[in-house]
Each structure stands twice: as C-alpha cells, then as structure tokens.
A and B are shown apart, each in its own frame.
Chain A
Amino acid sequence: MLLRLEPRGHHSIFWTYASPLVALALTLLTSALVFEILGRDPELALYTFFIKPLVSPGSLPELLVKASPLILIGTGLSLGFRANVWNIGAEGQYTLGALAGGGLALLFYDSTSPLLLPAMIVAGALGGMAWAAIPAFLRTHFNASEILTSLMLTYVAQLILIYLVTGPWRDPEGYGFPQSRMFSDTATMPILVSGTRLHLGVLIAFIVVLLGWGLLGKSLVGFQLKVVGQAPRAARYAGFSDKGLVWLAMMLGGGLAGAAGLFEVAGPVGQLTPQISPGYGFTAIIVAFLGRLHPVGVLFAGLLLALSYLGGDAAQIDLGLPSAVTNIFQGILLFFLLGSDILILYRLRLGRRREQPAS
C-alpha cells in the first residue's frame, strides 16, 4: 500500500476541530464543480447556497426554527445510540407527541388557563415516551430488535395521525379537509422575537443540549450509557442494568422527539395536519452521528443541516435549480464530513509499513 492509515493511538484534538473544516472546503470545491456542470456561476451559487441563508434578513431565525427539532431529537438519539440502542423510530415518537399534546389543545379548546401549554408540553413528551415504550418493551421482554419495531411503528403512527385528522379530530368548519382546528392562542408556543417564527421551543432545544452535555459527561447515568455501548460485558460485571439502560435510552429519545413534535404543531404549524414533519425523525439520526453523538456536536450538526435546507430553497428561488440540488449537496457534504473524520484517529502515511522488530 502506497498510502496507508496509521493509528495515532489517541484522538487528535487538532483534527477533531479541523476535520469539519477540511470537509467543508472539499464540499465547496466539489459544489463549485457541480454548479459549473449545471451551468451556473459557481461563485454566485456557493454564496446563495451557503452564505445567503446566514445573512439574508429574517433568515437566521428561520435557521434556528428549522434546526431546533433536529437538535432536540438528535440529542436524545445521540445518548441512546451511545448505548447501542438503535431508535430508528423517532419520527413516530414525534408524531405521537404531537398527537398527545395537540389532542390536549383540541380537548381544552376554549381554555384560557396558562397551565394549558405546559400541560401540552408534558403530554407531548409522554406521548413520545409511550410510543418508544413499545419497542423498549419488545426488546427487553422478547428480545425483538428495536430497529425493526421502532421503524414499523413510524408508519403506524403516521396512519393514526391521518385517521384522526381525517375523521374524529377534523375541523368541523374546515370544509371536510383533513386538518384539525387551528390551536387557540393559549395553546400556541410563545414567540421570542416578534416578527419571526422563533418560538420557545428553540430556546428549550438549547437548554436540552446543555442538560444532555451534563448528563453525558458528568453523571453516573451518562457514564453507564457510554459503557454499556462500548463494552457490554464490562457493564454487566459492573452491575449496570442493561434492561434499565435500554428503557432509559428509548425514553430519552422518545420523550425529546415527542416534545419536538409538540413544539412544531403548537408553534410553526399551529394545528394538526397529515404533514407535521418533513422527516425530522430520520434527519435527526444523521444529525446525531454528524455531531459525533455528543450534544454540543449535535447542536452544530443540526445548524449545519438546517443551513443546507435553507440553502436549497435559496438555490431554487435565486438560481432556478431543481429541488434535487438540496439532497445532492447534503449527500456530498455528509460524505466529506464522514470521510475526513478518519484523520482524528489515524494519520495518512506514504510508503510501506516498516516491520516492527519483535520486542
């Protein structure tokens, strides 16, 4: 092998921070090439895609609004993934959270109590947790893989949503369209900055990141999650309950996803419709991994991914590029980000491996 990888033996601090920059640079270069092929001015295209969403007036709050469900769900998932609990069904838990909290809003439609919204948030989290409890139970009691069970349940959740908004929860004044009533003002997330869509859920997402950071780094539970994922036998010897940790991981993921669902329907959407999630639960999986399964990383990864969505919109509006461009660039960005992470643990070396003398 002329070019080979040599383990460093430790995490290179330098490359931990530099590798995303390398990836970004490579993405920009490749993107410029792709834009050239598509017949667009590369400079303008790069500006539109990566910079414009940051500087366009009103864009920054939208970036945060788009990122916050990703961050919220991603944080929950990252803790679970560390424990080797593969919750692929966050999308369904999001839906159930929206239904639980939204259902409360519809049930107490005429209430003006300031307790309604907090109750909705709790209901949202509980709804997500209840939905995540099913795969947790099936895994701990029947050894059924949570990958499959949680995934299948996302489809079931979506069908429940469609059933409810098409039938029993349909707005009676809505001309028969599948949607619930618009939530009353008491049941709507307060806006933090007037004139924007920046709602309380965004702030809560940031707080959750801090809490997750604390949990992971400083608490016994966080330690247990990490160990049970990396060395399950050791965890068992140490007496960590792996069933208990499966439950914890699923409840964290489900609760945060459910809360995210509630924030979205009580916030930007304002009602229950069949389209309350553009795939947040699945995108959050990527966010979790891009963030290297650490809440702070998840924060940055969520912002980056949200940027790519907004950039895709701008590319369509300003450059007339097709919507497929968003996915293509997200793919390219992810490929480079994932590829360059190797530099953290390995260094590139030229030449053959020298035989080590026996010691």
Chain B
Amino acid sequence: MSGVSWLVPVILSVISASTPLLLAATGELVTEKSGVLNLGIEGMMLLGAIIGFAVTLTTGSAILGIIAAAGAGIAMAFVFGVLTLLLLANQVAAGLALTIFGTGLSALIGKSFVGNAVPVLPKLNLPILSSLPFIGPILFQQDALVYASFLLLVLVGWFLYRTHAGLVLRAVGDSHEAAHAIGYPVIAIRFGAVLFGGMTSGLAGAYMSLVYTPMWAENMTAGRGWIALALVVFSTWRPARLLLGAYLFGGISILQIYVQSMGLPIPSQFLSMLPYLATVLVLVLISRDRSRIRLNAPACLGRPFHATG
C-alpha cells in the first residue's frame, strides 16, 4: 500500500479545505430549500470563528468554543430571520447587510484576541479502524467537526427526503401559499431552517479558527462563505451533489498549490483560477437537464411570505 501513501497527506489537506465549505453549505441548502436565500454566510462564519476562538482561549475548552460558535451563528441568523421573515425585508440585501455587520463585529471583538493561539482541535482516533492503512488516517482520524460535516449532510439528506417534516419544509419552499393553506406554519418552519443555517455557518467558522489555522485574523474566512453559497447553487439543492461540489472545489484548490510547488512553468495565477473554472464547467454540464433543476429548485426561493388568510 505504500505506493500510494504519499496521497494520504494530500487527501488530508483536501478534507481540511473542503470541510468549512461543506458545513456552511449544508445549512444554507436547508435554508434555501425552505425558500429563504441567506447571503450572510460569510458574516455568520466570521462571528462563529471569533466567538469560537475567544471562548476556547478563555475557557480552555474547545467543546465550549464550538458550542459558542454555533450559538453565535444562530444569533446572527436570528437577526436575519426577524428582518426577512417577520419584517419582510428583501432577503438579498438583508443577507449582505448581515455579512457586513458580521465582518465588522467579529473584527471589533477580535481585537482583544490577537497574537494568541489555541491548541488545534484534537483528532478523534477511532480505535482499531484508525490503524488501517491508507483509509485509516483519512476516514478514522479526523476531528469532531469533520465528522460533524459528514453527519450533518447525511442527516439533512435523510431529513429532507425521508421524513414528513422534511417534505413539509420542501413544500414550504416550493409553494408557501399552498403550504399555508394546508395549515403549515410557514414562518416558523422557515425560521427554523434559517437558524439551522446559522448554526452550521457558525460551526464552519469555528473550524477555521480552531482547526484550519488555530488563530484569529480579521476576515480569515477570505470569501469561503461566498463559495459555500455558490456550492449550494452548484448542487442544485441536492445533498449528495453538495458533497461533490465542496470536495471538487477544495480538492482543486489544494491540487493547484501542489502543482505550483512542482515547478511547472505555468503562472501561479492561472493555476489559482482552476477551482473556479472547474466549478463553472461542472455546473454547466449538470445544468443542461432543465427538468432536473426544476424538480429540485425551491420555487419560492427569495420570495417573502405574509399570511393573508
């Protein structure tokens, strides 16, 4: 097996790069399936990152830090929910406002935590399984948040397509008028979906500041929230495709750095373009089937709902 053992660190790097994208995008997928477009992922991630870091640093407990980060994401999502679901504000603008606010608030809080480091989130070694060659370190020696990213995606897939509640949520996203007529609490369901999205974004932020680069730096998410948003669109709102998208993007981002360090005479800027171009290309390929998209796109995405009867 040693012939491919050099692949292991590469795959580990890819998992690292893809996890925050997967976490944030999973929550946004649920949010969008319920009919709400939340462009505030970047802001929620940043607040999650600083709160997670700050709590971990001051209490010494990463678990508390992660919970606090999830809470921070939920708090931001709550503000968004009030604005868009109760006050019927435009969702695009409200999401952008959330990003701006989150960027500023996290920077303000972060000033007191600069120049500090926390121990990186420990890996959970599953007994016996983690000693397996090749797949051992890849699948069974990851930290809690990586496992959470897969678990959440599976749960979301199961929830949306195998439970009654998930069906209701999808119905709300497809036709909120009809859902309301049947008697489903549209606003409450959407609110729940939005808060869930906030939670995963908070967790994604915590991953950045506790695992990826265990420190705080202003704007450390560096646009990953936007990539997560694009990935939800890429996935045509289907969880399995979301996994593909996150790992496609993360994988190519890492691969292009390896290619650079091999010394090939390709300008680094062109190599850096690869993840973005690859995503567009794959999207074009999978979008050609119009009917598939229509089946999965929440028809009421972005449209405000107000009960009138």
Q: Do chains A and B touch in the complex (CB under 8 A)?
A: yes
Tell me the smallest distance from the CB of B90 to a CB of chain A, in Å. 5
The number of chain A residues touching the other chain, given as a range, is 35 or more
Within 8 A of A (CB), among B192-227: 218, 223, 226
Check A149 against B293 for contact (C-beta < 8 Å).
no
Which residues in B have their C-beta under 8 angstroms from that of A152?
230, 276-277, 279-280
Check A286 against B276 for contact (C-beta < 8 Å).
no
Cα(A272)–Cα(B133), bound, Å? 52
Q: Is the interface of A mostly helix, strand, loop or mixed?
A: helix
Cα(A323)–Cα(B279), bound, Å? 34
Cα(A72)–Cα(B19), bound, Å? 38
Q: Mark A113-132, 1 if CB is under 8 A from B, else 0.
A: 00000000000000000000
Check A285 against B306 for contact (C-beta < 8 Å).
no
Check A286 against B96 for contact (C-beta < 8 Å).
yes
Residue on A with the closest CB to B90?
Answer: A289
Within 8 A of A (CB), among B270-288: 270, 272-273, 276-277, 279-280, 283-284, 287-288
Q: Mark B91-111, 1 if CB is under 8 A from A, else 0.
A: 011101110111111011001
Which residues in B have their C-beta under 8 angstroms from that of A342?
87-89
With contact pairs A7-B306, A153-B280, A159-B273 given, residues A338 and B101 touching in the complex (Cβ less than 8 Å): no
Residue on B with the closest CB to A334?
Answer: B97
Check B104 against A325 for contact (C-beta < 8 Å).
yes
Q: Mark A138-166, 1 if CB is under 8 A from B, else 0.
A: 10001111011101110110011011001
Tell me the smallest distance from the CB of B274 to a CB of chain A, in Å. 10
With contact pairs A163-B270, A346-B88 given, residues A338 and B83 touching in the complex (Cβ less than 8 Å): yes
Task: Choose among A159, A322, A323, A326 the residue that contacts B269 (Cβ–Cβ < 8 A).
Answer: A159
At the interface, yes or no: A327 with Cβ under 8 Å from chain B? Answer: yes
Check B233 against A145 for contact (C-beta < 8 Å).
yes
Check B108 against A145 for contact (C-beta < 8 Å).
no
Check A144 against B108 for contact (C-beta < 8 Å).
no
Total interface residues on B, using CB and 8 Å?
A: 46
Check A330 against B269 for contact (C-beta < 8 Å).
no
Cα(A67)–Cα(B249), bound, Å? 35
Check B98 against A331 for contact (C-beta < 8 Å).
yes
Q: Mark A153-192, 1 if CB is under 8 A from B, else 0.
A: 1011001101100110000000000000000000000000
Which residues in A have their C-beta under 8 angstroms from that of B98?
331
Check B267 against A163 for contact (C-beta < 8 Å).
yes
Q: Mark B107-118, 1 if CB is under 8 A from A, else 0.
A: 110010000000
At the interface, yes or no: A2 with Cβ under 8 Å from chain B? Answer: no
At the interface, yes or no: A339 with Cβ under 8 Å from chain B? Answer: yes
Residue on A with the closest CB to B82?
Answer: A339
Which residues in A have their C-beta under 8 angstroms from that of B279?
148, 152
Check B93 against A332 for contact (C-beta < 8 Å).
no
Check A156 against B104 for contact (C-beta < 8 Å).
no
Task: Choose among A138, A147, A326, A339 the residue that contacts B284 (Cβ–Cβ < 8 A).
Answer: A138
Which residues in B have their C-beta under 8 angstroms from that of A346?
88, 306
Check B97 against A331 for contact (C-beta < 8 Å).
yes
Cα(A14)–Cα(B306), bound, Å? 22
Cα(A100)–Cα(B94), bound, Å? 33
Tell me the smallest distance from the CB of A163 to a CB of chain B, in Å. 4
At the interface, yes or no: A290 with Cβ under 8 Å from chain B? Answer: yes
Check A286 against B230 for contact (C-beta < 8 Å).
no
Which residues in B have their C-beta under 8 angstroms from that of A317?
none
Check A324 against B277 for contact (C-beta < 8 Å).
no
Check A331 against B100 for contact (C-beta < 8 Å).
yes
Which residues in A have their C-beta under 8 angstroms from that of B87?
338-339, 342
Check B101 against A143 for contact (C-beta < 8 Å).
no
Residue on A with the closest CB to B290?
Answer: A143
Binding site for B on A (CB under 8 A): 5, 7, 81, 138, 142-145, 147-149, 151-153, 155-156, 159-160, 162-163, 166-167, 282, 285-286, 289-290, 322-332, 334-335, 338-339, 341-342, 345-346
Apart from A330-B104, A331-B105, A335-B97, what 11 extra A-B contacts exist at CB < 8 Å? A144-B283, A145-B233, A155-B276, A159-B272, A163-B269, A324-B105, A325-B104, A334-B101, A338-B89, A338-B94, A346-B306
18 A-B residue pairs with Cβ-Cβ distance under 8 Å, sorted by A, are A5-B88, A138-B280, A142-B284, A144-B283, A145-B287, A148-B279, A152-B280, A159-B270, A285-B96, A286-B100, A322-B107, A328-B104, A334-B96, A334-B100, A338-B90, A339-B82, A339-B87, A346-B88
The 7 closest A-B pairs by CB, nearest first: A331-B101, A327-B104, A334-B97, A289-B93, A324-B107, A338-B89, A328-B104
